[in-house]
Copies of this chain bind each other. A is one copy, B any other.
Amino acid sequence: MVEALKIGVAGLGTVGASLVQLLKKHQSQIALKTGKTVEVRAVSARDRSKDRGFDTSSFEWFDDPVEMAKKADIDIFVELIGGDNGPAEASVRTALQRGLHVVTANKALLAKHGVDLAVLAETNQVSLNYEAAVAGGIPIVKALRESMAGNEISRVYGILNGTCNYILTRMETDGLSFEDCLADAQRLGYAEADPTFDIEGNDTAHKLAILTSLAFGNKISSDDIYLEGITSITTADIKAADELGYRIKLLGVAQRTDTGIEQRVHPTMVPKASAIARIDGVLNAVAVDGDFVGEVILVGPGAGGNATASSVVADIADIARGDAGPALGMPAAVLADYKRARMRLHEGGYYIRLSVLDRPGAFAEIARSMGEAEISLESIVQKRNPSKGTETPGGPDQPQPVILITYETTEVAIKQALETIMSKGVVAEPPKMIRIEKLK
């Protein structure tokens, strides 16, 4: 007789519904693989009468997830409610305190309370698993937590938000504006009605904060992330990137530096030949640089009910098999304090797009400003500005776009150079700056 592992699912949205169906469809396979029969016994959602495409009458029903965490006859509490406080937080805390294992897909909750919850899980000797919280169906949490155990990680980076990647991909392939692509993404269900959280990079930042902790063994620190979204990216930038051999991706990057750990989320120029440049549409990808393994890249669906449910089940299967490592890869007590590297000391190449006024000496001023900041230029591209709607180039009084690609320099030097350029009155609008990521 195979032992049963009883599951309570809090939140019956897309992922919750997929999870219930997956566990039913693959029950016998999961039993063979884990030695346990995994059964949903209790569920919690707001609206009991809603048609979810499956029968919920055999499950114990709870209107309140905290009640379920307190009282349901279950071994694992699966939290699919979302949000970094409220019922999600309360029910997870309750479940851990009661000695239930917790599986969650909630990146916001972990980004904010991850260390706290890890302590709670350890104290109560239960698992806190969250493969689905980062990059959906991609097994990156397990890879970092387990497979990379023998590596010192120097950098982890990735495309962690499918909405942004879809928008940037469409802008490039179809030459459409950010706004048009966002509208399409909303129409197709790839973006929320209020897309702020995705397009401003917050969602990527939550996932990155978790990856950083797993990679570097520090406490999660999601407030210390340099954040820049994709709303200011134009088709002009994307075209210029293309001509210079780059693509623009919203990356989350965590990197060990001499002054601490850099955590940054921003639009990034990546060389076309790099693996990360070739991740299109809603796909996610995460790369890890380890001192022994080298670079490993995992690619897959970053969202969607079924893919996310697959990761939730992987977490459940780990618990069923008895795999019980600490939530953040090492005991919470030994996690280092997060030491933030100063963004002004960030080193890298930069893409600068200037709208240069057509006046004598303007270009010399720009070159001098870069030189004074000790910035060397790898490429300079100056083009005549075609006036909109006509086929004749812009007149002599129209500002001309100039693209600069710098060699490696520092953030502080770039900021200084751009301020100087602004102050000289040689550009028609504030310069546009996009960081270039050094990749193999």
- Which residues of A approach B to under 8 Å, CB–CB? 18, 22-23, 26, 29-30, 32-34, 131, 137-139, 142-143, 146-152, 217, 275, 278, 290-301, 304, 306-307, 309-314, 316-318, 321-325, 329-331, 334
Q: Which residue of B lies closest to A136 (CB)?
A: B293
**B294, A300: Cβ atoms closer than 8 Å:** yes
Minimum Cβ distance to chain B for residue A440 (Å): 10
In the complex, how many angstroms separate the beta carbon of A273 from the nearest chain B beta carbon?
9
Q: How far is the CB of A316 from chain B (nearest CB, A)?
A: 8
Q: Which of B23, B149, B296, B300 contacts A293 (CB 8 A)?
A: B300
Contacts of A150 in B (CB 8 A): 22-23, 26, 30, 309-310, 312-314, 316-317
Which residues of B sit under 8 angstroms from A22, Cβ to Cβ? 150, 292
Identify A300's interface contact among B33, B297, B304, CB under 8 A: B297
A30 to B146 Cα, complex, angstroms: 10
Do A295 and B300 touch across chains, with their CB atoms under 8 A apart? yes
B147 touches A142 (CB 8 A): yes
Count of identical protomers in the assembly = 2
A321 and B324 alpha carbons, distance in the complex (Å)? 7
Contact present for B298 and A18 (CB under 8 Å) = no
Q: Give every chain B residue within 8 A of A324 (Cβ-Cβ).
A: 321-322
Say whether, besides A147-B139, A299-B275, A314-B147, A307 and B322 are in contact (CB < 8 Å): no
A296 vs B137: C-alpha distance when bound (angstroms)? 8
Nearest CB on B from A120, distance (A): 19
CB distance from A333 to the nearest CB of B (A): 10
Please give the distance in Å from A311's CB to the nearest CB on chain B: 7
A238 to B233, CA, bound (A): 38
- In the bound complex, what is the Cα–Cα distance between A62 and B125 (angstroms)? 41
Q: Please state if A292 and B307 are interface contacts (CB–CB under 8 Å).
A: yes
Q: Which residue of B is nearest A298, CB measured?
A: B298
A297 and B296 in contact, given A147-B131, A314-B148, A321-B323 (Cβ under 8 angstroms):
no
A323 to B217, CA, bound (A): 21
Q: How far is the CA of A321 from the CA of B131 in the complex (A)?
A: 18
Give the nearest-CB partner of A144 in chain B: B139
* A-B pairs with beta carbons under 8 Å apart, 11 shown: A22-B150, A26-B152, A32-B330, A33-B149, A139-B143, A148-B310, A148-B314, A150-B312, A293-B311, A296-B300, A297-B299
